[in-house]
Structure 1
Amino acid sequence: MRAVIARAGSPVVEVVDTPDREPGPGQLRIRVAAATVNPVDAMVLDGAPVRFALVSAREVFGLGWDVAGEVVEVGPGVGGFAVGDAVLGLRDRLDVRAGALAEFVVLDADAVGALPAGLDPTAAATIPLNGLTAWQGLDLLGLSAGDTLLVTGAAGAVGGFAVELAAARGVRVLAVAGAADEDFVRAVGAAWFVPRGPELADRVREIVPGGVDAVLDAAMLGPDALDAVRGGGAFVAVNAGAAPPALRGIRVHPLWVRADGARSAELAALAAEGALTLRVAEVVALADAARAFTRLAQGGLRGRLVLVP
C-alpha cells in the first residue's frame, strides 16, 4: 500500500510503497477514505518526537493521525464492528512506520467510532485529533454553565471546536483570534471577541474583572494567557511542552490527547446534526502529499488539509 512517511534528517515527506498490516487481536483494518494533515505531522517531520524524547531515534516515521474510512477486516476479539462499516478514528501512537496518511490503516478498535450516515468522510476526517483535543481539554478544566473560559487560537481547528463545545455546555467564552476571524468565532458561540495583540490579560480583565475561570490555550501563548486567569482557576496547555508554571494557585494541565472511539462517534453525531462546525481548507490527493505539507508550512489556513487516496 502507499503511505506518507518522514525520514530522519529529511525535511521532505515521501509517498512510498510499504507492507500492509493485518489487524491483530482487538484491532480493525480500515480502508482510508480521507485523512487529515495536522501541525503535529509537521512537528514529526521536524524531528520533534525524538528531540523531546517521546520516542527513540529511528529512520522512518509514519504520518497522519485522524482518519475516516471503511472497515475491511476485523481482528480477533472485536465486537461491535463489521466489514463495510463507515468509521472514523485516531492513531495516537508516535512510533509507527505507517500512519493514517495511507491507503489503509490498522487501529485499535477502541480508537474507532461509527461514522453517521450522510456525514461526508472528507469533513469527518477533521474531527478525531482536534475534536478530541478540545473535548478532553474542556473535561480537564471542569467548567460549569455560567463559568468563563478564554480560548486562544479560537479560529484554529482545536480552538474552533473548543469554543463551540464549551458554548454548548453553557460556558461563556472569550475568543482570542485575528480581527478577520471575529465573525466566525461569534458564529460558533463566543460571547466576547478579543483581538490578538499585546497586553492580553489586561484586555481580558476589562471584560471579566478579576480574570476568567479558565483558559484553553490552543495558540500556545503560555504566560500571557495564564495572567488572564483568576487565582485558583484552571489552565490547559494544548501543547504539553508549552505549559506555563502554576502561579497563583492555578491548576495547569498539560494536555496529551488520547484516542477515544466512543467520543469520536459523539463528535461525529454532533457534526451530522449541525451542532459542530467542520472546516476543510483543501482536499489533496495522497500522491501529492508534499504539496499539502508545503501549504501547511505557509500558515493562514482556516480548516484542515485533507488527503484522499
Structure 2
Amino acid sequence: MTFDDYAVEPDSEDSSRPLVRTRLSEAIAAAVADLSAAGVASPRVDAEILAAHVLEIPRGRLLLVDSVRPDELRRLRALVAERARRVPLQHLLGTAAFRHLELAVGDGVFVPRPETELLAGWGIEHTAPGATVVDLCSGTGAIALSVADESAAGRVVAVERSPVALGYLRRNAAGFPAVEVVQGDVTDPSLLSGLRGAVDVLLCNPPYVPEGTPVPPEVADHDPAEAVFGGADGLTVIRPVVQRAAELLRPGGVVGIEHDDVHGAALPELLRADGRFTEVTAHPDLTGRPRYATARRT
C-alpha cells in the first residue's frame, strides 16, 4: 500500500460529522513504500521522522499514537512526496541534528553529516579551558558550536566564505557568546592574521569530494557544490587549509581536518610534507573508512 491508495478527505466543517481517521501504522507503511520505491536509503527511519514531525512528538512516542487526522495525513503525504523527490530530510524538517544541537539548514548550506561528529568530538577533547579554537569552512557552524557547547573554550572563531551559509551560521550561533563569526576564504594568506601563532585548536571540514565523483541526488541537487567538491583530486581546498593551520597554530597547538575516504594517505602526507607538524595521525570513521587526520604544530 502507498499513499496513492488513500483518498484524503478534507476536514469537515460540520462538527456533527465525525472525522475520518487513518491508522498511523498504515500511514507510515504507505510512506515507507513510497520512499523505498524512490530509492531513499533509509525509508523506515525517514517515514517515522516525518510522521513525528507532523504530529509534533518525539519519534519514540509514535507507538503511543493510534491514528492521524485527515489534515495530518495530508501534511505527511506532502512531505513524503517531497522526500521521494530526494529533497533532503533535513530541509523538510528545517533542522539537522548534530551531537547535542539542532541546527537550522536549508538550500545554500551544506547539511552536516554524522561522521563529522567524530572530528568535532576530537576537537572538544583537545580544547582546554580558555582555549582559542578556529573552525574553517564552518558552514552551519556544526563543529564550532559543538565546541562552544561542550567545552570551556574561551574563544571560538567560525570562518565561512559563502554569504548564504553565513546567514545560517549567524542564526545558529545566536546565543553562543564565545563564538565569533567571520566571513573569510581559507585560500587567503591574510585570513585571521591577528591570530597567527595564537590558536590552540584548528578544525576544518572542507569541501573534499573529487570532481566527477557520483553523489546522491540529495547532495547533487541541494548541497552547494562549492561545499562538496574540492577540485580534480579533492585536495584543492585542503592544501591551503594545511597552510593556514601551520600559520595560525601556536607551538603545540593541534589541527584536525576531515577528508574523503580516498585521502587516507594523501592528507597525512600533506601534513608531514609541510614540515611544521608532528604526531600526524589518521583516524577512521565508525565504518572503518579513513575520515580525518590530526597533527600537532611543532
* TM class by smaller structure: 0.3 to 0.5
Q: TM-score, normalised by structure 2?
A: 0.41
Compare the two structures and name the one with the higher helix fraction. 2
- Output the TM-score relative to the length of structure 1: 0.39
Structure 1 or 2, whichever has the larger Rg, is: 2
Bigger RCO of structures 1 and 2 (CA < 8 A, at least 6 apart): 1
